[in-house]
Every structure is written in C-alpha cells, then in structure tokens.
Amino acid sequence: MLDTAKVQTAAELIEGRVIQGEAPVAVMIRGTVLGFPAIFQAIYEGWPFGVTYIIETKVVDDPDHVCDKNDLVMNIMHRNAKGPLRSVMRLLLMESRGVAVGDKRIQQRYLISCNNNSQADRFLRYPGVYDALLKLEEMTKFNEIQIKVNAGLSLSQPKSFNSLDLDVYLETFRAVSELGQILFDSF
C-alpha cells in the first residue's frame, strides 16, 4: 500500500510536487535539485519494481541547435564478470566487452555502451565522474545509468519505493545532479 506521507516527504525533499494522473505510475514527483529539473518515478510502490531518478540538463531550448546523431547517448551498467576468470565468465554470461574508454578503472568496473566514443571518453575522464559513479553504486546498487547530451541523465535503482530510505533518495538525487552539472558544463 502506498504511504502518502512518505510520498509527500519525498516531494518536499526535492522542493517538488506530487504529480497524479499524468503518467501510469504509482509515484511521480517533479522537483528541482541543484538547479536542475528533477523527476522521480516508481511504476509500482512494492517489490519487485524499482525506482527511477531523472535529471534534465537541457534547461533552455536553443532554437538554433540542431540535434546531431553524434550527440552522446551512453549507458553505464555493472559488469557481472569480475576477477581473474573474467574472460571465461564473459563467455559464459555472454557479456559484452563494452566500449573502450580512457579510464581503465571505469572500464573494468562498468559496462559502457555509447554512440560516440570520443565524447564518452571525454565525459568519463572528467574529474569527479569516477567518484560519483562509485558513490552511486555504493548507495543505490543501480541497474543502469543513461546519459543523453540533449536531455539529461536517468538512474534506475532496483529498490522499491516502499523500502527506499529517503536520506539515500536525497543523496542519490544530489550525486546524479553532480553528474548532470558535469554534462551541462562539458557539452
């Protein structure tokens, strides 16, 4: 059962409001985090459904900007194959090698897929990105982070809304917003 007091508290934490009837989800909150529009969604409040954090970095529409197919679109996921037998595990799990990026720490820990290697490498080498990814991994055990230059970032967390700690919720939004600031500044 949906805890409406928890939903209201979650909305207040990001200076937002609860949206009802706009999308077919149990919880939808629109707010602001570090100056960026933020959206929180939970398809269903209980297990096994997770939650999604979205930070919109395109805050101003530029009528002169033409979307380019080479604008960065990147997915970051955990590697399942780790350790000394990772080559064998990749074969057994049918895990892709992912895109080669300049930061080997990121490449060993995460599976990166993107449409533009040079922009992905530039973003991932930016100071603070690796630390933010580690922080997000520790706090949320995220499934996937999607990054789109002309839109923003989204993070999918496997924890349901009912079991979500609101302190972790707020810190997750802050960490994703820090990545959003890097995306906004560098692209």
Q: Where are the domains of the chain?
A: 4-61+68-186
Query: Token pair 């380019």 is at which residue?
Result: 68
**What confidence score (pLDDT) does residue 177 get?**
94
**What confidence score (pLDDT) does residue 74 get?**
92
**What confidence score (pLDDT) does residue 48 get?**
84
8-state DSSP, 63: T
Residue 20 half-sphere exposure, CB side, CA atoms within 13 Å?
4
What is d(CA 50, CA 59) in angstroms, rounded to the nearest whole number? 27
What is d(CA 73, CA 26) in angstroms, rounded to the nearest whole number? 28
| pTM for this prediction | 0.85
Query: Token pair 């530039």 is at which residue?
Result: 122
pLDDT tens by residue, 80-97: 655 555 555 555 554 455
Which uninterrupted H or E stretch holds 104?
Answer: helix 104-109
**Residues in the chain where the model's pLDDT stays below 50:** 94-95
